[in-house]
A and B are shown apart, each in its own frame.
Chain A
Amino acid sequence: MRTVLAFTFIFVGIFLSYLQLVNGRKFIQLSDNNRIRIVPQLGSRGNILDRKGSVIIGNRLSYNVLVIPRQIYNSDNTIRKLSEILEVPFEKLQSTFRQRQVSSFLPVVLVENIDKKKAIIIEEARPSLPGVIIDPVPTRFYPYQKLACHLAGYLGEIDHWRLTKLKDYGYNKKDIVGYSGIEERYDYYLRQEEGGLQVEVDHLGNITRILGLRSPKNGKDIQLTVDLEIQKIIEESLGEREGAVVIMDSYSGEILGMASSPGFNPEIFINKSASKESIFKNPHAPLFNRCISGAYPLGSVFKVVVAAAALESKKISPSTTYQCSGSLMIGRRSYSCWSAHGDENLKNALIHSCNVFFYRLGLLLGPDRMYEWALKFGLGKPTQIDLPSENSGHLPNSFWERLNKFKTWFDGDTANFAIGQGDLLVSPIQTAVFMASIANGGNLVRPYLIKSIGSKDVVNYQRRLSHVPIRDTTLELIRAGLRGVVGDEEGTANILSGVGVSVSGKTGTAQTTSGRQPHAWFVGFFPAEKPKFTICVFLEHAGPSVYACQIAKRIIEAMKEKGLL
């Protein structure tokens, strides 16, 4: 009898030790989970403003439905009522409830991002819905929907790759971070700091006391150099065409407007339930920012580089003339021009975009010198714009070709290179920077998008210039040629002459190997006398350059109309 008693008590003692000594920590954790609740206090992500301070991308409150399992007396009943109000199938809500339930006292997020109206309905019905909470959460708001989607980027839950990269900067799983554009590049400044109220609650979830508070911090607002009006104009003008437009301040490198088309509505990425497949699988790649990530053959716009190289290396003088008979035999192949221009000097060759003249210049210069000058104008290397995933394009040279493609460089390749065909690939932003250097007197600017972060002006850190070693006389001659492209009646961009402001520029019709329509380019600056704006219009597989000129015309006219010049 006594031994039975002793053994029973020893057994109780052993089990007690198991609970309290072996598993003590686990149970302390569990009891803390019962009583300590973090009431999150969310800050809002920094706004993205235009150069005048109006909001391009902001925040608004969205509403989540939370339920506290312990406080629901009959979960099926409550969920059924919620499913009626929210018009979500009962089974779906029930399965989310089961999946997300962690502990009896922890609120479960049942539905995210519901309408304000429905949130009010639920809030009013709360006496009959015990344990249901409506939780307002600041959410990204896109008042202009698609506008500036590429340069701003979109938001999403952090992925594994970004997490491993950013863990040391205080990023955690399930954080919302920027993808592409400003949202990604300046995420560190834009992101809010989540605060929280640590409270002790009793078994009914009533707060008995406050244990601690960390106040939330809002993200810093970022002011762009982009002008909302210009951005609207260029996006409207581009419409649904595949292409890109960049408008840049020729002297500073500030991007005033930058659009790639087709675009996307970034709102889709905040809505967890929305299907993103149509965006990811779209063959026109709406997420792709053609302005900085695209690389395309430049076509005749490259002739400006060749002209500058020829003048600077004194291979020709301004009055050197070549005759264009419509084609030129190089080796055993005939290289054609689009018309028989007769005698052409440099200025006229630019105005008419004469291929034969530039074939000859190209052969005179040789590929390496053209390569060298293209590099001096910033082609073939990143512009260092403050956006992620910039493409540096590709500049061909004979050495590289031999190394990588096992190809011998022929004179024909030189001729193609001289008119911007062949292996040359550039991005619209590079082209804009190169054209700006012609406009502003030989300064290669670094394009940038950010004026200030928070209240701190960052322009001084952004502005960087390097000088292209080019004589003013050369620049003047080229500028005269470019002015003629628009102003001369025979100029290839003559349709731009009536826009009410003097425009200079160069057109390009870049053949593509795929047999599809060529790319259309117009790259220029205006007003010609004091060229504040540099514009680059690029249309992918749109046909001859005149289409790009039409878009440029529409943009410049609209800017003039709104008094933005």
Chain B
Amino acid sequence: MRSYHLRIIAIAILINLIGIFTIYSITFQSEDPFLSSIFKRQIIWSLIGILGFFIMANVTYRRLWDLAYILYGVAIFLLLLVAITGIIRLGAKRWLTLFWLNFQPAELAKLSTVILLARYFSYQSIRDTVSSSRRFGMGRGLLLPLLLILVPMGLIIEQPDLGSALMLFFIFICVLFFSKIKLKYLGLLLLVILIASPAFWALLRDYQKDRLLVFLNPNIDPLGAGYTVIQSKIAIGSGGFFGKGWLFGTQSQLRFLPESHTDFIFATFAEEWGWLGCVLLLFLYYLLLKNSLAIAGRTSDNFGQLLCLGITVMFAVQIVINLFMTMGLAPVVGIPLILMSYGGSSIFITYVSLGILANANKERTVF
């Protein structure tokens, strides 16, 4: 069934193009030479990403079985590198500068964690990979993978990037669920989290607490932490049915909306294209996820299925949390809207992940 993988890439490129147009609209008037050039950077990153897609689509995903722990190690190493350079520079940063491009290891960490978990919960039988979780007890079924997850999570929280860390954890729980682990372990984990959540509150930094409080009521601090949410809702709402038109969004053009080209790009898009455009975009995202799910459903081996489901969950969580966040339905956490938001790492990893899905679909046809 080649059509699935063609469909996926077609939809992805379409969304990516919409994103580039939106970024251009935000920045075309900017006098800052960096800002006015970012839509070009986004195009370059997208091309690199598409290249990555085709490479991954043609390299059998079974190779990832072997690479799982290595990729995980690389991700941890890069995260550590970020932490160390952060300490040296006396300032937190989320990205590494490799030559002329900045790279966010957290993005890699998400994908590598998905691959790692997919491998962890499978074992190789004669013909195919089979779920291993049923055989696991408490220790190997829950505690060990939890430990594997907590390492990158801890490093990402330190950056600090609460959103990505929580997302990682959410992916973990979903993969755990899909791996057909005994449900009582999952229940236990959720119970522990529930009991421990007041302690987590104490561990949060002040601004993170602010964001959560502001999520509950943005008006407690309209100029500070609540500002972004209010402006984002204004941007989306003022789009109306037809929108203000491409290049004519006032909230973003006049920069009332912060992060309008990254995390809040949906608000920018909604302002300029209105309800009609938004519904179209939502439909495209839905199609993307639906096709990903379909690929996962058609993959018969356990490793491939977990991988595909993990990647789909990764996409879905990012998309839904970002949409909720821009509409004021979720607290503001720094999660980009995949394929739309400006950011090379996100684009690249997304295309690569799509490549894995495409390959899984192709491999299926081989048998």
Contacts and interface: CB of A to CB of B under 8 A. Distances in A.
Nearest to A71: B223
A410 interface: no
B223 A69 contact: yes
B275 A27 contact: no
Given A9-B285, A31-B250, A16 B293 contact: no
Contacts of A15: 327, 329
Contact of B223 (A8, A35, A104): A104
Nearest to A206: B254
B236 A2 contact: no
Contacts of A25: 240
A540 interface: no
B234 A34 contact: yes
Which of A16, A30, A34, A200: most chain B Cβ within 10 A? A16
Which of B239, B285, B329: most chain A Cβ within 10 A? B239
A20 B276 CA distance: 10
Interface string A355-390: 000000000000000000000000000000000000
A358 to B, nearest CB: 80
Interface in B168-224: 222-223
B278 A20 contact: yes
Contacts of A104: 222-223, 227
A6 B286 contact: yes
B270 A35 contact: no
B90 to A, nearest CB: 23
Which of A2, A9, A32: most chain B Cβ within 10 A? A9
A374 B237 CA distance: 75
A20 B236 contact: yes
A12 B285 CA distance: 12
B134 interface: no
Contacts of A8: 316, 320
Interface residues of A, number: 33
Interface in B311-335: 316, 320, 323-324, 327, 329
A5 B286 contact: yes
Contacts of B227: 104
Given A20-B278, A203-B254, A31 B290 contact: no
Contact of B254 (A17, A19, A208): A208
A274 interface: no
B274 interface: yes
B293 A2 contact: yes
A24 B237 contact: yes
Contact of B270 (A5, A16, A26): A16
B279 interface: yes
B241 A21 contact: yes
Nearest to A8: B320
Contacts, number: 100
B282 A12 contact: yes
B113 interface: no
A457 interface: no
B261 to A, nearest CB: 14
A18 to B, nearest CB: 9
A27 B327 contact: no
A536 B231 CA distance: 69
A21 B240 CA distance: 6
A37 to B, nearest CB: 11
A17 B240 CA distance: 9
A171 B275 CA distance: 40
Contact of B235 (A17, A31, A208): A31
B285 A19 contact: no
B281 to A, nearest CB: 10
A95 interface: no
Interface in A1-49: 1-2, 5-6, 8-9, 12-13, 15-17, 19-21, 23-28, 30-32, 34-35
Interface string B98-126: 00000000000000000000000000000
A66 interface: no
A554 interface: no
A27 B238 contact: yes
Contact of B286 (A9, A19, A20, A201): A9
B234 A16 contact: no
Contacts of B223: 69-70, 104
Contacts of A203: 254-256
Contacts of B241: 20-21, 24
Which of B222, B237, B256: most chain A Cβ within 10 A? B237
B130 interface: no
Interface in A183-223: 200-203, 208
Contacts of B341: none
Nearest to B227: A104
Contacts of A12: 282, 320, 323-324, 327
A35 B256 contact: yes
A70 to B, nearest CB: 6
Interface residues of B, number: 36
B155 interface: no
B237 A30 contact: yes
A487 to B, nearest CB: 82
B278 A16 contact: yes
Contacts of B293: 1-2, 5
A265 B282 CA distance: 69
A6 B289 CA distance: 10
A255 B164 CA distance: 84
B233 interface: yes
B345 interface: no
B316 to A, nearest CB: 6
A24 B250 contact: no
A32 B271 CA distance: 13
A200 to B, nearest CB: 7
Contacts of B240: 20-21, 24-25, 28
Interface string A529-540: 000000000000
A124 to B, nearest CB: 27
Contacts of B274: 20
Contacts of B256: 31, 34-35, 202-203
A74 to B, nearest CB: 11
A31 B279 contact: no
Interface in A150-202: 200-202
Which of B240, B279, B285: most chain A Cβ within 10 A? B240
Which of A23, A24, A31, A201: most chain B Cβ within 10 A? A31
Contacts of A20: 236-237, 239-241, 270, 274-275, 278
Nearest to B240: A24
Interface string B139-170: 00000000000000000000000000000000
A80 B227 CA distance: 24
Contact of A24 (B239, B254, B279, B290): B239
Interface of B: 222-223, 227, 231, 233-241, 250-251, 254-256, 270-271, 274-275, 278-279, 282, 285-286, 289-290, 293, 316, 320, 323-324, 327, 329
21 contacts: A2-B290, A5-B286, A5-B316, A9-B285, A12-B320, A12-B327, A16-B270, A19-B327, A20-B241, A20-B278, A21-B275, A24-B239, A27-B234, A27-B238, A28-B240, A31-B238, A31-B256, A34-B250, A35-B254, A104-B222, A203-B254
Given A16-B270, A200-B254, 20 more contacts: A12-B324, A16-B236, A16-B278, A19-B233, A19-B236, A19-B327, A20-B240, A20-B274, A23-B237, A24-B237, A24-B241, A25-B240, A27-B233, A30-B238, A31-B238, A34-B231, A34-B254, A70-B223, A202-B254, A203-B254
Q: Which 7 A-B pairs have the closest CB atoms?
A: A27-B237, A31-B238, A24-B240, A202-B254, A27-B238, A20-B275, A19-B237
